[in-house]
Structure 1
């Protein structure tokens, strides 16, 4: 039983799986930078098509890389306070190199360098690494997670009829659902109740008088 064993084997051994995820992650990241007229350029930037199990395994692999790039960008901004704009090997740069500012810059930039090396160990692609730390880190700087999405496709793969899906970076081509506004409740003014007219006693009195007159007339006749 596979207790406490995470992930799918996908019909491959460990080294084959790592190589496959490395290549797929590099392909996904490199599609972000699309140049016009380049051969074999992707139709849609930041998207690749694969099978559903592979997409589910690739998603945490890529999101871990984006998280590294986001953390490195934070350390890079902190180190920029102690950096210099002087040209390398110039007298100003050599003076900065021997000052306390360089020591502070070195301590501040060390975590960013370590994160970049860890990401390169997972990608092994310089171009994909530059895109990851230069473009994707800036795009997802204010996003705490969920950098990719998986969309299942209706068309199955030719050959084995495997279920296909596309995995892409969020932030572009997002379909935002508009929330329905709650109906406005207006307090209606209370309806004015008209008082019912008081019953008049005049007809009853006249009827009583008529009946009294008839009784006197009959008494006289008797």
Structure 2
């Protein structure tokens, strides 16, 4: 692959919060960006707030819980000659129910979005990165899923993020040389999910994910990072 080609990033859940800020920062860094959103109208509305030159921003409808939706998105991109070099698995939900109050439906939703979403996108988009010998995958996780810090919590959220961390290691091993696969804990960020009282700005919350998306060829893989520093799983 030519080194001069602009790298293209796909960001799931890109229509708000950390995902939207990741899109913004990647555009500012000179990347082409595919803003993927479950609700295409909301994705297009969010995109209007981003300054992108020369058509470098594209909006795609993508429901990460549906393998068919992910495959359809990939098919549309291939048809238009768009190759995904950077995959940011940002889409997520944050149920806060305690374990004994947790319903099966809520638990399944957390697993479907936070874990299976990254499973679907990794299986669909990473093989082409492996064939080209270059790629970056960033899984937006959380310290609330770190097994060494605490019992993952809140229950559904923490368990799904702990599983996402395990998936990160599996994909890193499977992706092969040249593809860097890492997880990031953005911290407690002032978004709709994190709340207005969270101590971390959305710009700072997106920073490490963008850093991982732009790692040099000698950068790390199979790691978990916060503030650009490796942390324990």
TM-score (norm. length: structure 1): 0.25
Q: Which structure shows the bigger proportion of residues in helix conformation?
A: 1
TM-score (norm. length: structure 2): 0.24
Give the structure with higher Rg (CA). Answer: 1
